[in-house]
Structure 1
Amino acid sequence: MPYPHVIRLRGPWQFEPLARATLDADGQITDNSADLPPAGRATVPEDWGERLGNGFRGRARYRRAFNPPATLDPHERLWLVVEGVDAFGHVSVNGTRLGTIDGYALRRGFEVTQLVGPRNEIELEIELPAELPGVKQALRPGRERLPGGPIGEVRLEVRTQWFLEPLAIWSTPASDGFLIRGQVQGEPLAAALAVVVSGCEREIAYLETQVGAWFEILGPATDFPVWTTHSPTLAPLEVKLLIGGMAVWQAVIDTALRGSVANAGTSLAEQILPDAAYQEFDRNGRTVIQRLPLEWAEPVCSRLAHHPSVVGWSALAGQLPPPADCYGRPWLESG
């Protein structure tokens, strides 16, 4: 079985509004648990606009029962991954709080191997605060007028004890190869691990590394397609983590070398979108500049780095963009 093995938890979920955030006459925000919309069933990912109203500000709980895989081999671990909630929230499994989700584009993963039994329940408690004039608002780039809720995918992943996270793959228009940067995560291991990158039916890069180590590889890829808006051709790039020649983690990513692209016709992506949207931009030859808060730059830019359609970054209004490029793209002045 290739790792990770993914089990998506789309539905059915049960949702329950917990409190509505209201602005009192004295300018204070209070939680009001009276006269709330009814509880019901939901599918995740979604926003809560249809169920709680587009203007709902407050807290809601989403719960879902799930069964774990029938058996896990000794080298396998079970993880829960939440792609993001809007605006922020907490994640629990079987009553044990795992941690926080700090934004709609900030993925978190939690190992739950020892927490699950025959019958299990995931709980997401999500909050979208009321807006208070003069007070800094929760970061929601591009979603400031949209409903909140569990807008990111929730899934289980069966992994081995070792995997790569984060992983970023990118190129620059002047290069004929890919840069691959990541970190090996997992349990202590005396043996060396190897990162192997391949594409176009050949090995592009090989590096031996250790658990906990960061790595950066430059892989020559002159036979890979060069992506332009007129020729948006992609090819699969495979990254494997090996122990003794056995793959313990792998990913296949459609990408291309970045060609020179004119700025004409480039649009500004105000919202950070699901990965499928950028895959569509790649296939259609559409270029975008991604707007994002500087606080989210590393996790978001690394996740989008392999998409040739993303040609630059733009900080939020009032934020001074960094002088250095980020994953081969420039920071542009906020408009």
Structure 2
Amino acid sequence: MHTIRLRGPWQYTPLAHTYWTSNGQSQEYDTAVPPPGRIKLPADWSIELGGDFRGKVLFQRTFHCPTGLQDNDVVQVQIDSVDALGTVYVNNNTVGEIQLGQSNLRFEIQQYLEATNLLEILVDLPATDDSSAPLPRPNRTPDQAGGITGEVQLNIIES
């Protein structure tokens, strides 16, 4: 297996503030958010957006198609951890969902690859209060900011 780490820089765009409801759903409540910027991953968004920002943030990075791929080779995007929920897209195709507490996820992407590719990870860390359902965040404290807190990499598995 060959690995390509996608550390940074990444573009980030805050999309909305969100709230974790009593039935365990993320609900948007405000779209007045901070401006977009750049971030080096893995990291939480505390420096860029503040430790108290709760909501949806879209992280984007382009990458070139790995060279020398054979027809039966498998290309995966591996995401070690996000805080707290995530959706993964390659070239505007949804390739996977990251549920609460999941880590070290791999999604096959070879069918979506082009010469230049756009990887997007939508991360949602909703605000909570006493009426919210539990929002498990393994290895994180309630006051820590969200983000892509683990490595993101491409895995190439030769056939």
TM-score clears 0.5: yes
Letter of the 2:148 counterpart: P
Residue 135 (structure 1) aligned to one of 124, 132, 135:
132
AA in 1 matched with 2:79? V
Structure 1 counterpart of 2:153 = 155
8 Å Cα contact 2:19-2:128 kept in structure 1 = no
Task: Provide the residue aligned with 2:120 in structure 1.
Answer: 123
Alignment of 1:176-325 (within 5 A): none
Bigger relative contact order, structure 1 or 2 (CA pairs below 8 A, ≥6 apart):
2
Deviation at 1:78, TM superposition (A): 1.1
Q: Does 1:44 align with 2:33?
A: no
Q: Is there any run of 5+ residues in structure 1 with no aligned partner, and where?
A: 24-28, 162-335
SS of match in other structure, 1:138 = coil
The within-5 A match list for 1:91-130 is 91-103=88-100, 106-130=103-127
Paired with 2:127 and 2:121, the residues of 1 have a C-alpha distance of 19
- Residue 109 of structure 2 aligns to which amino acid in structure 1? V
One-letter amino acid of the structure 1 residue matched with residue 60 of structure 2: R
Please say if 1:19 is aligned against 2:16: yes
Are 1:6 and 2:11 counterparts? Answer: no
TM-score normalized by the length of structure 2: 0.88
| Kept in 2: contact 1:78–1:157 (CA 8 A) | yes
Q: Does 2:71 correspond to 1:74? A: yes
Where does structure 1 differ by over 2 angstroms across 4 or more consecutive aligned residues? none
Aligned mates of 2:70, 2:115 — CA distance in 1: 16
Q: Give me the identity figure in percent.
A: 36
Check the 8 A contact 1:22/1:32 in 2, yes or no: no
Residues of 2 paired with 1:46 and 1:110: CA distance? Answer: 21
- Counterpart position of 2:23: none
User: Which of the two has higher C-alpha Rg?
Assistant: 1
TM-score (norm 1): 0.43
